Structure 1
Amino acid sequence: MRAISGLWRWRRNPLRRTTDLVESWLALVALLLILVAAPVLGSLVGSLTQDALQQSARDQHQTRHLVVATVVRKLTASAPAPDPEIATGRDVRSRVVADWTGPDGTARRGPVTTGLRSPHPGDHFALWTDGHGLTVPRPLDSTTATTHAVLAGIGTALVAAGLTEGIRRLVLWRLVRRRYARWDQAWDRAGPDWGRTGTGS
Structure 2
Amino acid sequence: MSGEIPPAQPPPDPPHHELVHPLSLWRWRHNPLYRCTDRLQARIALALLMLVPILGLAATFAVGDAAHRHYRAAAEHQRQSLRLTTAALTHDAPDHPEPGSAEARENRYPATVRFTDPSGRTRTAETDVLPGLNAGSSVHLWVDADGAIAEPPMTAAQIRSRTMGWALVAFLTVAFAGATAYRCATVVLRRRNLAEWDTEWAETAPRWTRSP
The TM-score normalised by the length of structure 2 is 0.75
* Residue correspondences, number: 182
The reply on whether 1:45 has 2:63 as its aligned counterpart is: yes
The correspondence of residues 130-141 of structure 1 with structure 2, limited to 5 A, is 130-141=144-155
Kindly indicate whether structure 1 or structure 2 has the higher relative contact order, using CA contacts under 8 Å at least 6 residues apart: 2
Provide the rounded CA distance (Å) in 1 between the counterparts of 2:21 and 2:147: 65
- CA apart distance, 1:175: 0.4
Which of the residues 153, 176, 181 maps onto 1:162?
176
Unpaired segments ≥5 residues, structure 1: 77-88
1:90 is matched with: 106
Gaps of 5+ in 2: 1-19, 95-104
Decide whether the 8 Å contact of 1:94 with 1:117 is kept in 2.
Answer: no
Amino acid at match of 1:94: P
- TM-superposed CA distance for 1:117, in Å, is 1.1
Say whether 1:99 aligns with 2:90.
Answer: no
Query: Does the 8 A contact of 1:114 with 1:125 survive in 2?
Result: no
CA distance in 2: counterparts of 1:92 and 1:59, whole angstroms: 27
Matched, 1:72 2:86: no
Contact 1:4 1:24 in 2 (8 A): no
Tell me, yes or no, if the aligned pair for 2:60 and 2:170 is still in contact at 8 Å: yes
CA deviations 1:141-176 (Å, max 9, x no partner) are: 221121011011111111111111111111111101
Q: Which amino acid aligns with 2:114?
A: D
State yes or no: 1:122 paired with 2:136.
yes
With over 3 angstroms needed to count, the CA separation of the structure-2 counterparts of 1:119 and 1:109, relative to structure 1, is: farther
Structure 1 segments (4+ residues) deviating >4 Å: 12-16
Alpha-carbon distance in structure 2 between the residues aligned to 1:100 and 1:5: 72
Q: 1:145 and 2:159 equivalent?
A: yes
- d(CA) in 2 for partners of 1:12, 1:70: 81
- Alignment of 1:177 with 2:191, yes or no, is yes
Taking structure 1 as the reference length, the TM-score comes to 0.79
Match of 1:26 in 2: 44
Could you say if the C-alpha distance between residues 191 and 114 of structure 1 is closer, same or farther in structure 2, counting changes exceeding 3 Å?
closer
Q: What corresponds to 2:102 in structure 1?
A: none
